[in-house]
Amino acid sequence: MTVMEFWGCSFIAFGPPLALFIFTIACDPLRIIISMASAFFWLLALLLSSLLWFAVPPLQDELAFGLVFSVLFQELIRGGFYIVLRKADEGLQKMSQQEGVEGGMTLVNNKHLMAYVSGLGFGLISGAFAMVNVLADSTGPGTIGIHGNSHLFFITSALMTLCMIFLHTFWGIVFFAGLDRKNYGMPAAVILSHLLVSCLTLLNRGNSPVYLASLIPAYVVMLVMAAWSYLIAGGSTENFKAFILNKHRGYNVD
């Protein structure tokens, strides 16, 4: 039973994101490099959070303290990764102009695609670190729910991990677009929504966790960010309706 729970939670948390990675990123070596670089930058944010946690011993028992600064470090590093990508892109364009390459060279032709790839890389490594210990415990020995603990812990953790991976993907698109347009309200919205969703997980602490109170608002935020990033990338309600109708009729949509 524990092995079934392990695989079920694994596929819930990582199935859809890994499918996105396989079909949209793994087919292009440059996208793989960008996603791996993004994951490395997230690890830098984790390192900074760990250093702060060790540097302030009196607050090590305050989970909210570490959570807030972890979110801030992640968004700071996301901004740093944006700068690195843009500098690399500018360097390639200058080099191509000097060498007389027709059309110029660039990392990714679609800047929103670059944001999507980096956001998914951010999300996958974040989800891996959030879920790996939970999955390890799900294989046993013992069963969750004994002594009054909730039997919904593992499935809730998987659903929240899936939500956070998708949110990081959408946050990456919104964050990068805001910096491109010099509309700093968009990165601010990303930071605030990231803080909100992360703080909602504090409701799952203790002997009486309120899982729905964290899951439902988190998924609402995810849907809002998904719609926002869709519009940023050039989508529209007309395009979405056409896509649904064409798929329903059995046509392929390019």
Q: Which of 3-17, 86-100, 182-196 has the lowest mean pLDDT?
A: 86-100
The predicted pLDDT at position 95 comes to 62
160 domain residue, yes or no: yes
99 or 171, higher pLDDT: 171
Q: Is residue 184 predicted with pLDDT exceeding 90?
A: yes
Q: Is residue 181 predicted with pLDDT exceeding 80?
A: yes
Q: Express as a percent the part of the chain with pLDDT over 90.
A: 48
> Residue 105, by phi and psi: left (phi above 0), alpha (psi -120 to 50) or beta?
beta
220 domain residue, yes or no: yes
41 domain residue, yes or no: yes
| Mean pLDDT, residues 74-102 | 77
SS3 167: helix
14 domain residue, yes or no: yes
| Mean pLDDT, residues 232-247 | 77
38 domain residue, yes or no: yes
Q: What is the mean pLDDT of the chain?
A: 84
The predicted pLDDT at position 108 comes to 60
62 or 95, higher pLDDT: 62
| Mean pLDDT, residues 222-232 | 94
Q: Express as a percent the part of the chain with pLDDT over 70.
A: 85
Q: What is 16-71 written as a DSSP string? A: HHHHHIIIIITT-HHHHHHHHHHHHHHHHHHHHHHHHHHH-GGGTT-HHHHHHHHH
pLDDT band at 205 (very low <50, low <70, confident <90, very high): confident
| Mean pLDDT, residues 58-77 | 86
pLDDT band at 254 (very low <50, low <70, confident <90, very high): very low
148 domain residue, yes or no: yes
User: Which residues, in sequence order, are CB contacts of 9 under 8 Å at separation 6+?
Assistant: 131, 134, 135, 138, 154, 155, 157, 158
Write out the residue range of the structural domain in which residue 171 sits. 2-249
What's the domain count of the chain?
Answer: 1
Q: Quote the pTM value.
A: 0.87
pLDDT tens sequence across 140-171? 676 665 555 677 888 889 999 999 999 999 99
pLDDT band at 251 (very low <50, low <70, confident <90, very high): very low
254 domain residue, yes or no: no
The predicted pLDDT at position 148 comes to 59
The predicted pLDDT at position 147 comes to 56
pLDDT band at 240 (very low <50, low <70, confident <90, very high): confident
